[in-house]
Amino acid sequence: MARSGVRYEDVQRAIDALLKQGEAPSVHKVREVLGTGSFTTISEHLREWRTRREENRDVPPPGGMPEALQELAESLWEKAQACANEALAHYREEAESRVETAREEAGEATRRAEDAEQRESALAAHLARIEQRLEEKSSELARRESERDVLAEREAKLATRQARLESQLESLKQEHERQGREQQETLTEQAARHQERLAQEEKRHESSEARLMGLVDEARQERQAADKRHAQRLQQLETRLERAQQLVQEASGAQAEEEKRHRETEWARRQAEERTRTLQREQALMQARIDEQKQLLEEQVRRLRDLEAQLHRCLWQPPVADQAGEEQGENDEGPADAGPSKADSE
């Protein structure tokens, strides 16, 4: 609604004054003539004045104008109006097409940006899960390494114990061999003494044969008892050796299993690191695409603004043919009965 400060009659008088001076009425010139009033109010009154003049375009002009001049003016005005309408329609159609295209491109860019943001969010969530799993694997790896160190320490202790047992076993074997040799030597000496005594007894008394046989039996029994004790001790040593070897095998199996787990954990960690690097590269590419889409969107927005500015200029800038027709009409008809002005085309 127009303000009550400046009335339509004031604007009409200012327009008449401008037309008498040979100037086309505009908002700024009307305000200069009035010296007051807002541009909005003056623009509304000026638009109303143009509307009324358009409605009264077919009203016969006041008497005194030649009919030929009137027909020429009307013909020029119709041609100018047709050219202006045609140019304006072309500009409007082209501008609307460009605006629609720009809107479609902006919508597509917006959808692409939204898709990119959704993919970026999904990748970020997936990367977070991968990082969490990597941290869990790292913790598991640290725990496995700690267990491996414990097993390695136990293996070292078992190896030391095995070496000690093997040394003891070797010592026992040497001791057994020494005792066997000593017993063999003792038995040999005893047999020799018995043989000697037997020979002496045979020489002395035939009755001593029974005693000699008893001594031989006693020596044989002593030897058998010694062999039995030696076999028992050797069996005990072999049992201890088997137990020690079993412990060593168990430790070796545990070490092999731990090494297998360590290799599997190391492989999983390398795979997780590779996937993390791959996701980081994909995220960098996605960020570059997002930046590119944002630049395209900004370019589309700038193009849309340029198209809107062009449309605004096309809607409010008068065609050249219209202005030329107005100037000719003013020169032919005079300031008082001027034809369509530059402001009319606006």
Do 147 and 272 fall into the same domain? yes
Domain boundary among 57, 75, 101: 57
Q: What is the dihedral of CA 281, 283, 285, 288, to 10 degrees?
A: -140
DSSP 6: S
Q: Is the pTM of this model over 0.85?
A: no
> What's the longest Cα–Cα distance across the chain?
198
312 within some domain: no
291 within some domain: no
94 within some domain: no
48 and 7 Cβ atoms separated by less than 8 Å: no
Do 146 and 23 fall into the same domain? no
181 within some domain: yes
148 within some domain: yes
Written as tens digits, the pLDDT of the chain (346 aa) is 444 578 999 999 999 998 888 888 889 999 999 988 888 999 999 999 989 888 776 555 444 455 566 667 667 777 777 777 777 777 778 877 888 888 888 888 888 888 888 888 888 888 888 888 888 888 888 888 888 889 888 888 888 988 888 888 888 888 878 887 888 888 788 878 878 877 777 777 666 556 657 776 776 887 788 788 878 888 887 888 788 788 868 878 888 888 888 888 888 888 888 888 888 888 888 888 888 888 888 888 888 888 878 877 777 765 544 444 444 444 444 444 444 443 343 3
Domain count, the chain: 2
CA angle 284, 289, 292 (to 5 degrees): 125
219 and 194 Cβ atoms separated by less than 8 Å: yes
23 within some domain: yes
Domain boundary among 222, 249, 276: 276
pLDDT value of residue 44: 92
DSSP string, 163-210: HHHHHHHHHHHHHHHHHHHHHHHHHHHHHHHHHHHHHHHHHH-TTHHH
Q: What is the dihedral of CA 295, 297, 300, 305, to 10 degrees?
A: -100
150 within some domain: yes
159 within some domain: yes
Environment class of residue 300 by beta-carbon count within 10 Å: exposed (0-12), middle (13-18) or buried (19+)?
buried
Domain around 246:
135-276
Domain boundary among 11, 41, 57: 57
Do 139 and 261 fall into the same domain? yes
CA distance 220 to 223: 5
Question: 65: closest CA among 345, 263, 336, 247?
Answer: 336
